[in-house]
Amino acid sequence: MNTLHVCALGPTRYRDGLALMDALVAARAAGETGDWLLYPDHESVLTVGRNPSDGNLIADPATLARAGIEVVEVPRGGDITWHGPGQLVGYPIVALDRVGRDLHRWLRTLEDAIMGALAQYDLHGVRIAGRTGVWLSEHEKIASIGVAVRRWVGYHGFALNVSNTLDPFAHIHPCGLHDIRMTSMADKLGASAPTLAEMRATVTAELVERLEFAAFHEHVPAEVWALAGIARTADTSKDVPTGVVPGLYGGV
């Protein structure tokens, strides 16, 4: 029970990722499995949390259709954000006893892990008072965080911009904020930016340490889908470029 189970899921349709997360949350709450950290690679999608404000989706439906971007409402805190190829999305499905069932501590732990990972590449991540996520400056955001909690199991999680295009953020006011610019590791580091695989390993190590797991165990995707009792659809295996959701508490 002191092992974090980790899986890089590869190409995963967003709605299938939600179904997988729901199944593992139920299993974790029932004591039928341990704690998990899932890394899906999502298609280009806009997700809207439980606390949206009017006017934060700028693009009209025709523009989104031409860009192949779906809009999905999700059961997490926060407003609207984008996910897609090149972005590191992590779903920690963890019993919150590890953080004393303190939701603010849970959010700060996720932020700390991302800031620790960024520091290994000489990027200084910071917090901005009153705004969840990780920033490089007051108006420049690099990672979004949004979480949900069910029976004291945390789920949803974080989205760190690694090598993804930033263009889709022009369709929205990210996280409902009008005065920010989204950035990425590639935007700041150029050719020296890490790969998604490198950042998965770095962020995993940071979370294992901060949550005081004794070890972590990596699983292949088939094991995780089987554990959840979900048969993957053809769409789930859609060929999405490898590398790419924030989740009731915490804005994105």
Lowest mean pLDDT among 13-17, 41-45, 64-68, 88-92: 64-68
64 vs 241, residue with greater confidence: 64
Backbone angles phi, psi at 57, to 5 degrees: -95, 110
- Average the pLDDT over 203-225 and give the result: 97
- CA–centroid distance for 225 within its chain: 19
The stretch 154-164 carries a mean pLDDT of 96
Which two tokens mark 110? Answer: 């996720």
Beta bridge mates, 54: none
Counting the structural domains of the chain, the total is 1
pLDDT of 52: 53
pLDDT at 70 over 50: yes
In a domain, 157, yes or no: yes
For the segment 163-186, the average pLDDT, to the nearest whole number, is: 84
- Read off the DSSP letter of residue 245: -
Whether the CB-CB separation of 156 and 91 falls below 8 Å is answered with yes
Rounded to 5 degrees, what are φ and ψ at 28? -65, -40
Any domain includes 252: no
Q: What is the pLDDT of the chain when averaged over all its residues?
A: 87
DSSP state of 43: P
Q: Is the pLDDT of residue 246 over 70?
A: no
Q: Is 250 a member of any domain? A: no
11 assigned to some structural domain: yes
pLDDT at 240: 34
Q: Is residue 103 part of a domain?
A: yes
Of residues 242 and 5, more confidently modeled = 5
Residue type present at position 160: L
Please check whether residue 29 lies inside any domain of the structure.
Answer: yes
CA-based nearest residue to 115, from 144, 135, 131, 92: 135
Q: What percent of the chain has pLDDT over 70?
A: 87
DSSP assignment string, 63-103: HHHHHT-EEEE-SSSS-EEEE-TTEEEEEEEEEGGGGTT-H
- Residues 15-38: pLDDT tens digits? 899 999 999 999 999 999 999 999
- CA–CA gap between residue 246 and residue 138 (Å, rounded): 20
In Å, how far are 186, 198, 216 from 14, measured between CA atoms?
24, 23, 25
In a domain? residue 164: yes
How many CB atoms neighbour CB 100 within 10 A?
Answer: 9
Looking at residue 58, its pLDDT comes to: 79
Q: Which residues of 134-165 are buried (b: 16+ CB within 10 A; e: fewer)?
A: bbbeeeebbbbbbbbbeeebbbbbbbbbbbbb
The DSSP symbol for 252 reads: -
Q: Cα 216 from chain centroid?
A: 19
- Token duo for residue 90: 């992590």
The answer to whether residue 5 scores a pLDDT higher than 50 is: yes
The enclosing domain of 107 has a CATH number of 3.30.930.10
Q: What is d(CA 165, CA 44) in angstroms, rounded to the nearest whole number?
A: 10
- Backbone conformation region of residue 229, classed left if phi is above 0, alpha if psi is from -120 to 50, else beta: left
Which residues does the annotation mark as catalytic? Answer: 175
Give the domain extent around 204. 3-237
- Asked if residue 251 is part of any domain, the answer here is no
Say which range, 52-66, 104-118, 217-231, 235-249, has the weakest mean pLDDT.
235-249
At 26 the pLDDT is 97
